[in-house]
Amino acid sequence: MYFSLLKMSVSIDNFLKAVYVLGIEEGKKVTGSALAARLGISSAGITDMSRKLSRKGIVDYSPYKEIVLTETGKLEALQVIRKHRLWELFLYKVLNMDMADIHKEAERLEHETSIELMHRLDEFLGFPQYDPHGEPIPSIEGLLPDESDLIPLVEVNEGMRVKIIRISIREKEVYEMFQHYGIKPGIKIEVIRLFDFDGSMEIRIKGEKLILPGSLVTLILCKEGKNVHYGDQ
């Protein structure tokens, strides 16, 4: 079991999570200005936090250079992300909360949750690999599921059947539309036709045909014929 050596706080939790998601998951350059915009705080506040965590060996920081997590920093960030995503799954799956509302509730809960409680919650949910959005849930050791065969829906050929893994959408109105058609992680779809002129796609889901706009097709990731695990789903 992983044990943190850092006395965590809400500000540290949010900082580490933002650095990890921005730099590793989204593949963007983690600058002070990018973090300030993501977290809604001043650039001076980012500098102070970076220096503080650098002294503790959590980040590598030099003025005017990209902020990078050390190996210890990655493990700390993954534990925060683990808490957040397990809570999202619990709120969605057990308490039947709306997909559009679980993020802000998980934000509150993640800061007051012990590692032991997360282990119990993980066990209760059936050791899931993904949260309701399809984002990977780190294990207690900081390990992530293998996603080497994960492909963007936009690259799937006509006639292929795939399972949706991740939907990178946070807008409430889009959630409501997807919910209406039953589009969510874990659901299997068939690609019927691709429309090159605008990037849209005709799919079959639960026996019904649907045309997805190109702007939404690019936000969906999937796998071919793999048994991915969303708790007991």
DSSP symbols for 146-188: --TT-EEGGGPPTT-EEEEEEE----HHHHHHHHHHT--TT-E
Of residues 22 and 168, more confidently modeled: 22
In three-state secondary structure terms, 51 is: helix
pLDDT of amino acid 6: 58
What pLDDT digit, counting tens, does each position of 113-160 carry? 988 999 999 999 999 999 988 899 999 899 998 888 889 999 999 999
Residues 141, 158, single domain; the answer is no
Radius of gyration of the chain (CA): 19
The whole-number pLDDT of residue 40 equals: 92
Is there a single domain that holds both residue 128 and residue 157? no
Whether residue 16 is found in the same domain as residue 68 = yes
162 has pLDDT over 70:
yes
Q: Which residues span the domain enclosing 45?
A: 1-145
Q: Same structural domain for residues 63 and 12?
A: yes
Q: Please tell me whether residues 138 and 156 are part of one structural domain.
A: no
Of 111, 145, 179, the one marking the end of a domain is 145
Would you put residue 133 in left (φ > 0), alpha (ψ -120 to 50) or beta? alpha
Number of separate domains in the chain: 2
Q: The pTM is what? A: 0.79
